[in-house]
Amino acid sequence: MCGIVGYIGNQEAVPILLKGLKKLEYRGYDSAGIAVQGKMGLVVRKAKGLIKNLEEKISAESKNADEFCGFAGIGHTRWATHGEPSDVNSHPQTDASGKIAVVHNGIIENHGKLKEWLLSKGVTFQSETDTEAVANLIGFYYRGDLLQAVMEAVGRLEGSWGLGIICADEPDRIIAVRKESPLVVGIGKGENLIASDVPALLEYTREVYYLEDREIAVLFKDHVDFYSDEGQVIQKEKTHIEWDAASAEKGGYEHFMLKEIHEQPKALTDTLRPRLTAADTGGARKINLDEIGFDASWAQASRVVITACGTAWHAGVIGKYAFEHFARIPVDVDVASEFRYRDPILNPKDIFIIISQSGETADTLAAMRMAKKGGARIIAITNVVGSTLAREADLVMYTWAGPEIAVASTKAFTTQLMCLNLIALQFGVLRGVIKSAQLNEYINALEAIPAQAEKILKGKENIQRFASQQFNKGKVFFMGRLFDYAASLESALKLKEISYTHSEAFAAGELKHGPIALVDTSTLVVALCTQSKLFDKMESSITQVKARGAAVAVITYEDSDRFNNIADEVFRIPRTDDSLSPILSVIPAQLFAYYCAVQRGLDPDKPRNLAKSVTVE
């Protein structure tokens, strides 16, 4: 996630690009930049921080009116992936000659290899970004024909990209190309635009072309040509945008939370794929965590301690089950605010995994610093490049979820689970617990998850209907065993924080030790049932709450009819390994929470009393 905008036409480009970037600021806001083709050639201005910083820089650095103006340009607002937020890592990135400028959304998975190859050809680099490799590759292939150079360069890329490209020697055009990262071409009168998202275009046009994977658009001020990746001219169908500006920002969804729930398949793919060896290279599949500097020494830890707050702590609880199961290593999991004030026993052989979407949560950072002081090594799992957590940890594994705007965490949570599973499996491999054939099966299961998540999302109407019947329940309990218990914790938190329904989670085995006293006809119990070896036990718990008059919804596998006769409602998820199921089983719970909040007339994006990032105690 980042924002791209490009303009070519009869108007001054810079104000249009700045306005467009502001409309896209929700997609990334750690730095921004613009490249413009003007009287002074190709000029680039970039600044760390919000777009207003870029505006200030532009006015401070452009001493005369001609210096930073022109009728064609590209702009970018960044959510950092490779390289911390800084002026030099901001986009546009230029090639070594400074003649070609590129803005990029997505992740170039083979950028390391491309950079190495370009360095061996004498090409120089300045930033830590994967995007600079793209700019330099295009520069390397440029022999007076930008389209040709782009085709050659893109042919060598692996990963995902939405690219806007301009070249000082061909100032009459902008080139756009994408794979797995959206790009829209807007058609105006005597002007054309590109953007990663519709809101940036709406002021100028409602006539757009959606670029498909690997298609290329060449924009001139009075027309646009479209090409296949092999350079054949293609005809495309125009779309008229009906959305108003507010819903366009949310991609047509009513709320950011719903949009972010729907972004999970993509976020999961982005988080998983760069960490696996390619399927087509032959040989056994492997998890590759070289990128984060994870080597065999990490797996020699005597204990893993996972520390976090809120939703991230719930991911940690699931992580504990995963580490014990995959790697047979002792794991403690701790709420950061407890850990920091307890008298914990620390050992330099401990490894701490600190999880935080924002990377700025005060309690989580305090816990990390305490662990460090005790001599432990730290792996951070965070969504924000350059965050305090990322800077202070020994290793960082990023969740490539893109900015999460809604206060309630959804895609950050499931991508945290993806990271934890990858690290736990790698621990298992290095500790000799998981053999190659088994790893292959887990990798296949992980790779299936994004499409399985998509399938759950397609069935959301069922959950919406159920929420419309249940949203006024006095209390909702979530229960499960093992991984399902851990997923229940997160499910209950989602419901309480955005719908203000009293909801609790408990391990189903605890039912008889207390919670059953609260169960009556006003109760809804959601039973998570994906731990196949404990289906009998879950059936018995469900029977007990039904006998006290509770309504029961079950979340289970689509190929199991085990609970059909005892549940009032069954939500089905595709079959996966029981130890990976929380990534899927939490999605119906997220949707249920969302629809309950909407039914209650609440704004799920901004729940009362809560903030996105808790930087104070």
Token pair 């992580």 in the structure block, residue: 319
| Residue 419: active-site member | no
Among 105, 364, 470, 590, binds ligand F6R (CB under 6 A): 364
Nearer to ligand F6R, 218 or 423 (CB): 423
Q: Does 491 bind ligand F6R (CB under 6 A)?
A: no
d(CA 380, CA 368) in angstroms, rounded, equals 9
| Segment contacting ligand F6R by CB under 6 A, of 24-32, 182-190, 215-223, 304-312 | 304-312
Please enumerate in sequence order all residues whose Cβ is within 8 A of that of 338, keeping only pairs 6 or more positions apart, or say none. none
CA-closest candidate to residue 273, choices 259, 261, 285: 285
- Using an 8 Å Cβ cutoff, are 591 and 410 in contact? no
d(CA 32, CA 86) in angstroms, rounded, equals 9
The pairing of beta strand 174-179 with beta strand 184-187: unpaired
Nearer to ligand F6R, 361 or 585 (CB): 361
How crowded is residue 600: how many other Cβ atoms within 10 Å of its Cβ? 15
Q: Does 358 bind ligand F6R (CB under 6 A)?
A: yes
Q: Does 414 bind ligand F6R (CB under 6 A)?
A: no
Size of the site for ligand F6R (CB under 6 A): 15
- Of the residues 2, 69, 167, 529, only one is catalytic, namely 2
CA-closest candidate to residue 470, choices 558, 587, 571, 610: 571
- Indicate the burial class of 366 (C-beta count within 10 angstroms; 0-12, 13-18, 19 or more): middle
CA-closest candidate to residue 462, choices 571, 553, 358, 550: 571
Q: Does 127 bind ligand F6R (CB under 6 A)?
A: no
| Segment contacting ligand F6R by CB under 6 A, of 26-34, 47-55, 355-363, 587-595 | 355-363
Return the residues of window 307-346 that contact ligand F6R according to CB under 6 A.
309-312
- Indicate the burial class of 120 (C-beta count within 10 angstroms; 0-12, 13-18, 19 or more): exposed
Nearer to ligand F6R, 260 or 270 (CB): 260
CB of 412 to ligand F6R, least distance (A): 7
Q: Does 576 bind ligand F6R (CB under 6 A)?
A: no
Among 160, 269, 361, 426, binds ligand F6R (CB under 6 A): 361
Q: Does 409 bind ligand F6R (CB under 6 A)?
A: yes
Q: Does 408 bind ligand F6R (CB under 6 A)?
A: yes
CB of 387 to ligand F6R, least distance (A): 9
CA-closest candidate to residue 31, choices 83, 90, 74: 90
DSSP conformation letters of 260-272? HHHTHHHHHHHHH
| Residue 69: active-site member | no
How crowded is residue 521: how many other Cβ atoms within 10 Å of its Cβ? 9
Nearer to ligand F6R, 119 or 341 (CB): 341
| Segment contacting ligand F6R by CB under 6 A, of 155-163, 356-364, 512-520, 566-574 | 356-364
| Segment contacting ligand F6R by CB under 6 A, of 9-17, 21-29, 303-311, 528-536 | 303-311
CB of 364 to ligand F6R, least distance (A): 5
Q: Does 497 bind ligand F6R (CB under 6 A)?
A: yes
CB of 138 to ligand F6R, least distance (A): 37
Length of the chain: 617
d(CA 412, CA 398) in angstroms, rounded, equals 10
d(CA 21, CA 42) in angstroms, rounded, equals 19
Q: Does 356 bind ligand F6R (CB under 6 A)?
A: yes
Give me the phi and psi of 509, to 5 degrees please. Answer: -65, -15
Q: Does 201 bind ligand F6R (CB under 6 A)?
A: no
Interacting residue ranges for ligand F6R, rule: CB under 6 A: 309-312, 356-358, 361, 364, 408-409, 493, 497, 613-614
Catalytic residues: 2, 612
